[in-house]
Amino acid sequence: MIDVRRFSSLGGADHGWLKARHHFSFASYHDPARMGWGRLRVWNDDEIAPRSGFPPHPHRDMEIVTYVRSGAISHRDNLGNEGRTEAGDVQVMSAGTGIAHAEYNEEDERADIFQIWIEPTRAGLPPSWGARPFPKDDRSGRFVALASGLPEDADALPIRTDGRVLGATLRAGETIEHPLAPGARAYLVPAKGRVEVNGVSLNARDGAAVRDEPSLSVIALEDAELVLVETR
């Protein structure tokens, strides 16, 4: 089963400095049919204006993965962590027992990000933050684990859940065959480009909620950049 959520159908808000689209219910957008997908609770598609951002605010008991699509985002938190994450790279914040952080676009160009929240399977742990580059050439033609709580994904940023976030890039005409674990739920969004997933067409920034499929066959109809979340 593949349920397509077209970008035009997503909830959203325009705060001037922030234009947000929500794949699932979030803040003032509420749709009882879109409360999450497995342990995936939030997938926000955010456009952040230059020299603006989210002021300090708290989180608790959530794995928050930020995938930067263009521009860069800068992080600061009350643990003393600071970092700047550029396009194609990833940062992870495990909110654990509680953390306060700020996210700013300190650049002169707009920052476009996916912010992904996944419910943890291990609670009561201290908060943490980390980031690292994931060169697009390293994920050309294949899915690479960007953040994961699965033991086989040793090179990914760690998250405290039985799931993972993967990324891939495809040239037009290329195909990826990707197996899914029995009972897994997956959510796929092309950050760029048009693709076909098991025969279903997706445009850039559309979402595909996948269940009861043994594998994904992804064909790039044009050069594409993909982000995939799997939860168990």
Task: Report whether 103 belongs to an annotated binding site.
Answer: yes
Give the whole-number percent of the chain exceeding pLDDT 70.
100
Q: What is the mean pLDDT of the chain?
A: 96
> Per-residue confidence at 199, pLDDT binned at 50, 70, 90?
very high
Task: Report whether 57 belongs to an annotated binding site.
Answer: yes
**Angle at 115 (CA atoms; ends 169, 173), nearest 5 degrees:** 15
CA dist., res. 50 & res. 18, Å (int):
10
Q: Is the pLDDT of residue 136 over 90?
A: no
Burial 46-75 (b: 16+ CB within 10 A, else e): bbbeeebbbeeeebebbbbbbbbbebbbbb
> Per-residue confidence at 186, pLDDT binned at 50, 70, 90?
very high
Residue 170 in tokens = 């495809």
Q: Is the pLDDT of residue 109 over 90?
A: yes
Candidates 217, 227, 68; CA nearest to 145 is 227
Q: Which residue type occupies 39?
A: R
Task: Report whether 23 belongs to an annotated binding site.
Answer: no
For residue 190, the 8-state DSSP code is E
- Predicted confidence at residue 232, as pLDDT, reads 81
> Per-residue confidence at 137, pLDDT binned at 50, 70, 90?
confident
* Average pLDDT value for residue range 102-122: 97
Q: Which residue type occupies 118?
A: I
* Average pLDDT value for residue range 214-231: 97
Task: Report whether 59 belongs to an annotated binding site.
Answer: yes
- Predicted confidence at residue 130, as pLDDT, reads 96
Which residues neighbour 148 within 8 Å (Cβ) at sequence distance 6 or greater? 156, 157, 158, 159, 163, 164, 165
* Average pLDDT value for residue range 193-219: 98
Tens-place pLDDT, residues 40-62: 999 999 999 999 999 999 999 99
Pick the CATH number of 2-231 from 3.40.640.10, 2.40.50.90, 2.60.120.10, 3.30.420.40: 2.60.120.10
> Per-residue confidence at 122, pLDDT binned at 50, 70, 90?
confident
Tens-place pLDDT, residues 6-19: 999 999 999 999 99
Q: Where are the domains of the chain?
A: 2-231
* Average pLDDT value for residue range 145-154: 95
